[in-house]
Chains A and B, each alone.
Chain A
Amino acid sequence: DTEVTQTPKHLVMGMTNKKSLKCEQHMGHRAMYWYKQKAKKPPELMFVYSYEKLSINESVPSRFSPECPNSSLLNLHLHALQPEDSALYLCASSQAGQGNQPQHFGDGTRLSIL
């Protein structure tokens, strides 16, 4: 079992819907990440939070809105998504920012946009 928990595991939504992805970790990590992953491709970094502050936004469209309510929780709010946004969305955490610290991943949310 992974120590990073993501909910829901699967999500199907229409292009006009609003939904949120949730991620939780209790390892005391102060860096949390959102990645987007297409099949058999490496994860693509979307956002990085360090000490609950957004430190990296990799030019992600505004229809994706991250939120870090506290050091254990990370949300990704979705609105007006496009079919090409269908992918596996992975959350990860690490001890302190990017760098040499290994990242611990959740099992992802499989998102399908109709």
Chain B
Amino acid sequence: TQLLEQSPQFLSIQEGENLTVYCNSSSVFSSLQWYRQEPGEGPVLLVTVVTGGEVKKLKRLTFQFGDARKDSSLHITAAQPGDTGLYLCAGEAGNQFYFGTGTSLTVIP
């Protein structure tokens, strides 16, 4: 059983389209992090959200932390081929660090 479930698991879209990735849990997290992993590289931290209801923007990426701190979303506007990669949410609950199940995104030129 995974503590952090991501959806969708796989996503293939055309360049220019918008998309949203969800990270859900039944547990409360003190904070959640989002990482992107490109092929052949390690995961790279994109953002950390800490406060319930918080919204953070990173260029075309918008991250939201749920009010109850049990879920988060990542919205990408006008996706580009460079956005292709594995997106991972992660966070700490009960003194343990968990990765989400991952979302593999392919943006087709």
Contacts and interface: CB of A to CB of B under 8 A. Distances in A.
Interface of A: 2, 4, 40-43, 45, 90, 92, 98-100, 102-108
A100 B48 contact: yes
Interface stretch (B38-46, B54-62, B65-73, B74-82): B38-46
Contact of A102 (B45, B99, B104): B45
Interface residues of B, number: 25
A40 B42 contact: no
B58 to A, nearest CB: 14
Contact of A100 (B30, B42, B104): B30
Contact of A103 (B10, B45, B50, B95): B45
B97 A98 contact: yes
A107 B39 CA distance: 10
B102 A90 contact: no
19 contacts: A4-B42, A40-B10, A42-B100, A42-B101, A42-B102, A43-B43, A45-B97, A90-B42, A92-B42, A98-B92, A98-B95, A100-B48, A102-B33, A103-B45, A103-B90, A105-B44, A106-B42, A107-B42, A108-B42
B92 A99 contact: yes
B91 to A, nearest CB: 8
A105 B102 contact: no
A102 B96 CA distance: 13
A98 B88 contact: no
A92 B104 CA distance: 21
A42 B43 CA distance: 10
A29 B86 CA distance: 25
B88 A100 contact: no
Contacts of B31: 100
Nearest to A100: B31
